[in-house]
Structure 1
Amino acid sequence: MLGYLFRDFRRPASERPSIVWWVFVALLAATLVYLPHQLGLAGLMDLSVIFVLALLALSMSFLWGYIGMLSFGQTVFFGMGGYVYAVAAMNWGTTTLPFLLGILLPMAFAVLLGFFMIYGRLSDIYFSVMTLVLTLILNKAMRATSGSQFVVGDVRLNGQNGIPGVPPLQVPWNPTVTLFIDHVYYLSGAILILVYVGLRLLLTTPFGRIMVGVRENEKRIELLGYNSRRYKLVAFVLSGGLAGLSGTLFAIWGNFVAPEMFGLGRAAEVIIWVIVGGKATLIGPIVGVGLIQYLTTWLGMQGVGQVTLILGMILIIFVLLFKEGLVPTVGNLLVRVLGVKSNDAAKKRDHK
């Protein structure tokens, strides 16, 4: 079954997932339900943050791997989602509307930003540079808000010290009940699975196929009569909303937001997660987040001081040896070892 599962991961994005893939998703959901019975509170917190950051990685892999737009600005939407939720929840004393705003406002900002960059016909390299510059600007701007005059309602932004005491998420129909860490685990895990399945199914629709076609040959898509800029803008806005959702959940998970959410270090981490896992897959970045987060925690426990340097070396190794990423490389190897026939080979056999 493992070989057939990896073969399914190698299917073109336009093909509908097989029954094996659906079984995998069901088993994954069942595993996430079972794990809290075996893990302590610390384990649940570690897994919860992996789920949250995996949403950020998915926003990048969808935009870069399937649309062909490399953005260093996913952390802009990530940080914006966290700060919007924190400021709104602390001012209003409720969390349902701030949770939604943590998704909608980054999407609105993505509409404005994407309109000027995409309809301005910026080339791919200048698009990446512009998003990188915006990340640096917002990071510096948030660090400069330490003065007492930088207040939104009753909430001080506190500059590089961040905003502590972010309220936990309340149950919408019973605001007196707030979510504890085990509830955040279930919430973030469920959202991650839904987003993963939703993106996979979106790519099989005519709309998704055209978006992938833009990555393959934008000029041909335009000659066929499609407005490629519209599809790129929709993809950019959708990825911004996913990053904002990730930032909102991150603020809920840690009860804290800080300018590091906008930081260049976080932006580099997102690139590493996607490259290590495989940017042309949706499951790859999730695996990349889990692997890198576990390795970072393990290196920290071993007292290694230069964790960033080691992660940089890992990125170089993966770029040189695993050019497609870990999941596609391992999948290709397993398919060959287990002797699972590809779709093309099966079609030729049936034809004969």
Structure 2
Amino acid sequence: MQLLNGMTGALIGSAIAAVGILTAPLYVDLFQIMQLTVFAAMAVLALSLGFIWGYGGILCFGQTSFFGLGAYTYAVAAINFADSTPAILLAILIPVIFAALLGYFMIYGGISDVYLGVITLTVSLILFNLVNSTAGDFYKIGDARLGGFNGMPGVPTFNLPGNPGYILTPEQAWMVTGIALIVVYLGLRLLIASSFGRIIIAIRENETRAALLGYDPRIYKLITFMIGGAIAGFAGALYVNWGAFVSPTIFALGLSAQIIIWVIIGGRGTLIGPIIGCLLLQWLVTEIGAQQAFDANFVLGAILIVFVLLVPKGIAPTLRDMVMSRFAERGDAPPDVSVKVKT
């Protein structure tokens, strides 16, 4: 019953969002649909870090590693199979395997949180330089040439499952990406509300106490890390579908920093926060780029400083606290917006 009560608001909000996603092509033009598609794909990426950092307590500076691996895996598989369905599955599987191997050596090796962040960032830079040096006909997997710094153009986009000849239109691809964002969000909400979710939150709050209660923090953190890798890889496939192109810049340091900024500004420890932060800042960067009046990186840096100093909790937790405070002033019972940890 508690789980159902906690999910009610999320389900209602998701239903409203789904209606908006399905009807958006009736009211906005193709260019805006394409923008919304990439925004939604990046929001899935933001959720991957929001989950492992906000709930698992794992600060990963290299979330682009899994994002890029998912993108390149999708591109290579889609070219070789001429079918997006197995390509999407592989785009999730390969980052999960990579996250399992990398996470095992870091987490079971007793690497502290600071060094874990440094290692994941270094891995992203290594992958960037590795893929960047794959120019030439020699570097190919099956029929797919990696292209080096020029990237891989002309990647097949999503098709109808079981029917490779039916390629989704941009409007249909937007619907798939938007609904995928909702599904990932709801899936994480259910996971956090489960016993597994309560345990990883307990480990985040006090790892020693959780271990004394009989839980192995290492396996829970590893599984959390793998889930984040799977979501980021899926986001990579969605991103490639948007532009039919992937290049080594997908591993770049700038994108790694942006993901962290999205989560900080939206609100760590929430799921809606990273989505809000991502959509808001992606829209802002797009508007700045269109006007060419300011440098986007300068504006992002200024926004980050303001939020760290004035709104350290982020947008979503701050709004939640305001609502809770208003209910407290009126003497009404506040809505159930928190996840309780039982130990």
The TM-score bracket by the shorter chain reads over 0.9
Report what 2:285 is aligned to. 296
| Residue 128 (structure 2) pairs with residue 139 (structure 1) | yes
- Cα distance, 1:143 vs structure 2: 1.2
Amino acid across the alignment from 2:285: T
Supply the distance in 1 between the matched residues of 2:54 and 2:304 (Cα, whole angstroms). Answer: 17
Q: Does residue 251 of the first structure (1) align with residue 254 of the second (2)?
A: no
User: TM-score w.r.t. structure 2 length?
Assistant: 0.93
- Residue 214 of structure 1, CA deviation: 0.7
Cα deviations by residue, 1:64-115 (Å, 9 ceiling, x for unpaired): 0001000012100100011011112112222221111011111011111111
Report the 3-state secondary structure (helix = DSSP H, G, I; strand = E; otherwise coil) of the residue aligned with 1:175: strand
How many residues in Structure 1 have an aligned counterpart in Structure 2? Answer: 333
Specify the alignment match of 2:155 in structure 1: 166
Q: What is the alpha-carbon root mean square deviation over aligned residues? A: 1.9
Equivalent of residue 321 in structure 2, options 318, 322, 332: 332
1:41 aligns with 2:38: no
- Whether contact under 8 Å (1:14, 1:209) holds in the other structure is no
- 1:99 is aligned, of 80, 88, 91, to 88
Aligned counterparts of 1:62 and 1:275: Cα–Cα separation in 2: 12
Stretches of structure 2 lacking an aligned partner (at least 5 in a row): 337-343
Q: What percent identity do the matched residue pairs reach?
A: 45
- The answer to whether structure 1 residue 112 and structure 2 residue 112 are counterparts is no
Q: Does 1:226 align with 2:215?
A: yes
Pairwise CA distance, 1:207? 1.1
Between 251-260 and 298-307, report the one with greater CA deviation: 298-307
1:273 to 250, 257, 262: 262
Residue deviations 1:119-139 (CA, integer Å, cap 9, x gap) = 111111111111011011111
The TM-score, its normalising length taken from structure 1, stands at: 0.90
* Contact 2:324–2:334 (Cα < 8 Å) also in 1: no
Amino acid paired to 2:183: L
1:192 deviates by 0.8
Counterpart contact for 1:63–1:239, Cα < 8 Å: yes
- The equivalent residue for 2:250 is 261
Which stretch shifts more, 86-95 or 331-340? 331-340
Equivalent residue for 1:216, pick from 190, 200, 205: 205
In the aligned structure 2, how far is the partner of 1:51 from the partner of 1:334? 27
Q: Report the CA distance between 1:204 and its aligned residue.
A: 1.1
Deviation digits for residues 221-279 of structure 1 (CA, Å, limit 9, x no counterpart):
10011111000000000000000000011111110001111111110110011011001
Distance 1:342 1:148 in 2: 66
Tell whether the 8 Å contact from 1:16 to 1:204 is kept in structure 2 after alignment.
Answer: no
Match of 1:87 among 57, 62, 76: 76
Match of 1:316 in 2: 305
Q: Secondary structure at the match of 1:135?
A: helix
SS in structure 1 opposite 2:15?
A: helix
Larger CA deviation: 289-298 vs 322-331: 322-331
